[in-house]
Structure formats: C-alpha cells, structure tokens
Structure 1
Amino acid sequence: MNTSQACFIATTLSMSVFSANAKINLTDDISLSGFGSTSITKSNNATALYVNREITDETCYDCDTTFGLQGDIRFTNNFNASVQVVKRPQDEWSSPVLEWAYLGYNVSDLNLKVGRLRLPLFLSSEYYYVGQAYTSARPPQEVYNSILGITSYDGISGTWDIEVNDESYLTITPYVGIESNSEVNIGALLYDFNVEKTIGLHTELSGFDYRIMFNYAHFKYAVDVTTPLGTQQYPADNINIYTIGAEYSFDQLVLTSEVLIDTMHFNWYTSLAYNMDKFTPYVTYAESHHSQKNNSLLVGVRYDLTTTVSLNAEWKYTDANNGSNGELISNPADGDTDAQLYSLMVNFIF
C-alpha cells in the first residue's frame, strides 16, 4: 500500500481526522482549529432543493457556506473541555450556533462528557460540518437531512473503549439529553421543536480498514408550526430512530452504506469511492421511502489540492416517486418533481 492510499483510508475511517490533523497549538494544553466550505451550485428546478440550503435554478454562491472554530483545553491528563461554534449554511454570519460545548473526563477505558454534545446518529456525525473530512461535497442528504439539520443535544454521554483483539475496537456510548429547543425553516414554514427527552445508544466496531456502526435514539418532542396565517401547536409525541452504517476499504476502493429507519422514513444510500493519488472519483445511489419517496444518483470527483484544502465537482439527478416532493422542500408549481443539481465545492481546515 502506498502513502496516498494509507492517508486516504485513515482519513475516511477515522472519527478524529479533523482534530488530529488540523489544529494550532496556542500552548501545550490549548489548541484552536477551524474549518469551512463554500460552493457554486445550481439546479434545473425552480423549486428549492434541501432543507437549510434551498438550492434553486438560480446560481447560488452561499447555499453551502459553512465556517467553524473549535477550541480544546486539556486541564489534566484526564480532564478536558471543547467548544465548537459553527456558521451553518442556514445561518447568517452574525448569528452562528454553539454546536458543542462540553467537559470531558477520562478514567480507565471510560470517557464521560457533559454539556452540549453532537448527536451520534451517523458515520460522519462527529465531523458533520467539516467538509474536508468526507469524500463528497455534502453527506448524502436522503439520510443526513432526514432529521432536518438537528445535530446536537444537551446532556451527558459515556463511552467505553473495548479492545476486541489486536486489530479491532468496540466503542459503546449510551447518552441522555435534557430539554432543548431547535428551529427549522422549511420554505415559508417555521418549525419550533421542543425536545423534552433524548435517550440513545451508539455502538461502533472498527479496525484498520472497516467501521460498523449502530445507533438507537428515542426522542419525546412537541412542535409548533408557524405559517403566514399563524401558529399551530401540536401535542407531544415520541419517535424512535434506528441508524446502521458500514464502511469498508479494499485498498484504494472504499464502500460506504447507511440506513435510517423511523415511523416516517426508510432511507438509505450506498457509495463507492476510488482513490488515485490526489483524485478520488465517487458515485452514490440513494433512496427515500414512506413520507418522502425519492431516488437519486450522484457522480463526483474530489481533488486534494493539499492535505488541508480540497475541491469537489458533482452532478446529481434526483427523482421523486409517486408524485411526492422528494428532496424538494415544497410542492412544485409546475409539477416537476425531478431535478439535476450541479455543485463546485471548496473545503478547508486549519
């Protein structure tokens, strides 16, 4: 295996790729790191694609714009803190969000965290907004956008690291969240979610060339929906979300697949990426079922300018089945429910 292949596999399979390779050491115990993405993108459908991005047939220069800063402090060998602030695609520059802010404590093989934490629903959850850390321009939207961009919770988690053998490790992470609020704009509608309870279990088995992930999450929530005509309150409800993901490397070829299942969704994707030194072409096929019926095909190529800067060029065709909106955020006025999406993305870390 040559050096570029090894680097590609390590980047693809490591959950700590961002914090390990992109940071500025201010002191021996304090570090600062950052990341960002921006794009030129356009579809051939006048109806907006993607919640929190709203890409239309007009060329957009800021639909994907993301910028984040992360600070890490080590108080002792066992006690640490981390803060991450992110200007997400849906945010104004003047109003970024606190994505996580927690205190961590390590004792033996147990890592405890308390504060605002990242929801560990997916393979790429830990670095969801760090475009440099995954191959495609965006994580597959059929799966990653199915929870409307809610990516964090306030609460506590504990992670046990278990050495299965010399080449495999198992991590088990139960987590509990307290009451929190999130707002999501979908076209002219504003959804105000009050999450009253979060309980979950995340497990991951990993080795040098593979990762297998399973997550279960239970939420009790209420939602208020504001329209131009007023606000409607809905009573508290419960939802259980199951996610399964796997990633495997065959030398230069990496196969990734994830599935999300709940009462409203059965969504999945499969992706193949092939590394050729600085170039990585990839293809992704995805489907959505139940509340949104959709299938899509994405073809793209990533070019690594340096170890900290990359470019993506992508074409995606998405088609809604049975007349549903699919990935369109509202009913198209002309009834056109398919779209071709073109994206040129730049990602960086420092």
Structure 2
Amino acid sequence: MTVEFSPLRTLTFGLTLLACAAAQAGDGDAPRWTFGGYGTLGLVHSNDSQSDFTANVLNPGNAGASHEWSATVDSRVGVQLGLNLDSRWSAVLQVLSERTLQSGYAPQVEWANVKYQATPDLSLRVGRIALPLFLAGDYRKAGYALPWVRPPVEVYGAIPISNSDGVDASYRWSAAGFNNVTQVFLGHTDILVAPHTHAVARAMTGLSNTTTSGALTVRASAMCTELTVGLARELFDGLRQFGPQGAALAARYDVDAKRADVVSLGASYDPGAWFLMGEVGRMNARSYLGDKTAAYVSGGYRFGDLTPYVAYAMSRSNTPTRIAGLDLRGLPPQLAGAGLLLNAGLNQMLETIPQQRSVTAGVRWDLRANYALKLQYDRYTPRDGSNGTFVNVQPGFQSGHSIGVVSASVDFVF
C-alpha cells in the first residue's frame, strides 16, 4: 500500500518520530538539540521568449516566456531541527519551502527520520531520507554548499525527486588507504504533478558507495523502482482504441508500473586552492520519459574569497525522440484524423526527452561568513528536435537555437 504524505501529515509524522526517539532516551543524559538552516535568494533571466527555463520539472520556472526575470527558479529556504539522545539514537526534521507545481511555496518536509547507531560503523535510519544519488545528492538544494548557482540541470534535473520514505543502512569501512561508506536503501515516494494526478515510485531499491581519500571523493550509485505517472491518460486510452498496434504503443510508452533504473558515477578532487569534478549517469524509464545519458565536468580556482568556475554538460537520448506512430493507411478519414492527432501528441511527449548541451561560466564571492554571492551565465543548446530541459514550450520554439540564461543568487546558512 502506498502512503501519501501531505505537508501537514508529513510534518506530524516527523514530529512523531522525534517524540518516539526522545522516549528512547530514558532517564539518562539530557537530549541535545540543534537548529539550523539554509536558503537561496535568486533571480534568473532567459533570452528565449518561446520557453521557460527551470532547473527542475517539478518547478514551473517562469523565466523566459512567462517573465523576463524570475525569482522562483532557485529561491528557497530550509530549516532543520536535530535531536541527539545519546551515542546511539538521534533524529532530524528538515522542512523546505520552494516553488512547486501545485503547492506554491507551501512548506514541505524534506527529511524526517530517526537514526540508530548500531555499531561505530553501522547505522540504520527510518523515515523520510535523502536519496543518495549523485555527488551532491545529500545537499543538492543547499546552494551554499555548491560551487555553482545550481547543479547542472542535465544531470540533476533528470531525477527531480530528492528523497524517499523508507529505510536505509550505512556501513563505514576502509581498505588500501581509502575510506568508504556503503549505503543500501528501500523506500517509495508519491508526488502530486497535476490536479488529482500523481507520480508514484514504489519499491525504490538502491545501493550507493562513497569513497574518500584526502582531496578525492568518488560516489557510485544505482537504483531501480516501479514508476507510475498518471499523465496523458486520454492519449494512451485513445491509442488503445486502434487495436493491437495502438495497444502496443500504449504499452511501450505509458508510464504505468514501469521499471525505471538509474546508475551514476561521479568524482571530485578538491585540494583547497582549486577543484575539478564530473559525473555521468544513465536513467531508463522504459516509457515516454525516455532512456537518457547525461554528464558534466566542472572546475574552478579560488583567489581568496573569489572562485571563478566553468562547466560543460550534455544530455542525450538513447531511444528515438520521434516515431512513425500509428499506421493510418486505409483508415476512414475520421479515424485517420484522430490517429494523426494521437501520433502528434505522442511525438510531442517524446520531444521532452532532453537532448542538450550547455556551457557555463560563473563566479562565487564569499562576501562574509556563511554568505555567498554568485553570478552565472549558461548557454544552452537543445538539439535534434528536443525541447531540452525547457518547459512551457511555445509553438515558435526552435530546437538547435542557443539560449542564454543569466542567474544571480545569494546563498546563506545559519
């Protein structure tokens, strides 16, 4: 059975976890509480009037066709409450407010879990937990911890979910001078993507290993899940009316209990004066969401409080983004007309599989303790008929045309 988490329900769930953990403390030492948070105030401008730029398909973006400047792409604030009961029991509750498709800036529970340190090397958690995908998966929304305004959208935008509800286990171990943390997890998530329409990932099962040695960090991750997205039901129901060929197309492209896989590998080398990092990932949803490979490489040099940086990123589809669709030969004109519309609708969905490359240049200024100002310019080029990572695409949108995006942000922690 899938458990649905509304903001109020998840907040109550998180507080209940804290209370249950506190009850485990017994009559020993007094619990130790911690409180902190992070945030980003950002502005984004896109020079394309036929689309909107967004870093995440769960955020409407609104920079471009909707507004010349938008503060909704990157702006967010999060607060975190922690409880350490003793050497074994602890709990955390993190609440985040950022722009979403359906709830505006309504606060959402990002993390809410209880941790049990079974041994000095083995820990277990239950609750809402960050997905350990990609190098910055644990802190992808905390802009202050990132060198850029936002993580490269080609990679991080491919997996817009950042947490799951379930359990995980982490084990620390060392070999040949390398320190490792191996994490296994099992969970699910349920996201409202349109009125009365959900995206549900069940049985999210994954494995992640993070290796560190001095300035080097390497993370490898893999995850599989059963994915259902309740969008475009009318289109797929219409295809099924065209007999076996339509049913085959619906079975191939509808996101209905489809197995989805993610694998990623990333490495970062940061000796202090400079950094170099890169990641590559493949995401296969076996549906109109596509099978895609995405990667980036980025580097920067620190001159005191200033860190100029550059990046190159790409995303490509491993499956066709345009198909012939229904064979309409010999059909009556009325049926052929309906089939043409269905074929066009299906191809329009396939065009949303990102095929894109981008170059980025920016600078970070750590203007004072716990505050960073960033200015960034991205040049995105959607390719091969794809919309790239852009949303709210208008009829005049031109794939192959480069789009300039200017971003400014102030990141802070407290």
What is aligned with 1:238? Answer: 259
Contact 2:148 2:362 in 1 (8 A): yes
Contact 2:98 2:105 in 1 (8 A): no
Note if 1:266 corresponds to 2:293.
Answer: yes
Partner Cα separation in structure 2 for residue 231 and residue 64 of structure 1: 34
Contact 1:39 1:62 in 2 (8 A): yes
> Following TM superposition, where does structure 1 have runs of at least 4 consecutive aligned residues deviating by more than 3 angstroms?
91-94, 229-234
Change in Cα spacing, 1:29 to 1:93, as seen in structure 2 (3 Å) is farther
What is aligned with 1:5? Answer: none
Change in Cα spacing, 1:208 to 1:28, as seen in structure 2 (3 Å) is farther
Change in Cα spacing, 1:191 to 1:311, as seen in structure 2 (3 Å) is farther
3-state SS of paired residue (1:158): strand
Counterpart residue identity of residue 147, structure 2: T
Structure 2 counterparts to residues 21-100 of structure 1, below 5 A: 29-46=32-49, 47-50=51-54, 51=57, 52=59, 53-56=61-64, 58-90=68-100, 95-100=106-111
Change in Cα spacing, 1:321 to 1:234, as seen in structure 2 (3 Å) is closer
Of the candidates 118, 125, 128, which is equivalent to residue 113 of structure 1?
Answer: 125
What is aligned with 2:22? Answer: none
What is aligned with 1:150? Answer: 161
What is aligned with 1:21? Answer: none
What is aligned with 2:13? Answer: none
Counterpart residue identity of residue 116, structure 2: Y
Deviations 1:254-306 (A, max 9, x none): 11101110222100000011111100000010000003210000100000012
What is aligned with 2:146? Answer: 134
TM-score relative to the length of structure 1: 0.85
Structure 2 counterparts to residues 298-317 of structure 1, below 5 A: 298-317=360-379
3-state SS of paired residue (2:135): coil
Structure 2 counterparts to residues 201-350 of structure 1, below 5 A: 201-225=207-231, 234-263=255-284, 264-290=291-317, 291-337=353-399, 338-350=402-414
Deviations 1:139-183 (A, max 9, x none): 111000102x21111111110011235x53111101111x43112
Q: Percent identity?
A: 25
Deviations 1:121-142 (A, max 9, x none): 1111111211000100001110
> Which is strand-richer, 1 or 2?
1
User: Which residues of structure 2 form unaligned runs of 5+?
Assistant: 1-29, 238-253, 285-290, 318-352
Contact 1:268 1:286 in 2 (8 A): yes
Higher mean alpha-carbon deviation, 28-37 vs 131-140, is at 28-37
CA positional deviation for 1:79: 0.4
CA positional deviation for 1:335: 2.9
Contact 1:190 1:225 in 2 (8 A): no
3-state SS of paired residue (1:132): helix
CA positional deviation for 1:330: 4.5
CA positional deviation for 1:93: 6.4
3-state SS of paired residue (1:328): coil
3-state SS of paired residue (1:146): coil
What is aligned with 1:183? Answer: 192
CA positional deviation for 1:251: 4.9
Contact 2:279 2:296 in 1 (8 A): yes
Counterpart residue identity of residue 298, structure 1: T
Partner Cα separation in structure 2 for residue 190 and residue 76 of structure 1: 43
3-state SS of paired residue (2:391): coil
What is aligned with 2:6? Answer: none
CA positional deviation for 1:222: 1.2
C-alpha RMSD of the superposition: 2.2
Partner Cα separation in structure 2 for residue 190 and residue 255 of structure 1: 44
Partner Cα separation in structure 1 for residue 105 and residue 295 of structure 2: 35
Partner Cα separation in structure 1 for residue 122 and residue 133 of structure 2: 20
Change in Cα spacing, 1:28 to 1:273, as seen in structure 2 (3 Å) is farther
Contact 2:31 2:86 in 1 (8 A): no
Counterpart residue identity of residue 42, structure 1: H
Counterpart residue identity of residue 88, structure 1: E
Counterpart residue identity of residue 243, structure 1: S
Note if 1:162 corresponds to 2:168.
Answer: no
CA positional deviation for 1:30: 0.1
TM-score relative to the length of structure 2: 0.72
Partner Cα separation in structure 1 for residue 394 and residue 270 of structure 2: 40
Contact 2:44 2:71 in 1 (8 A): yes
Deviations 1:83-137 (A, max 9, x none): 1110123275662111110000112210111111111111111112110001000
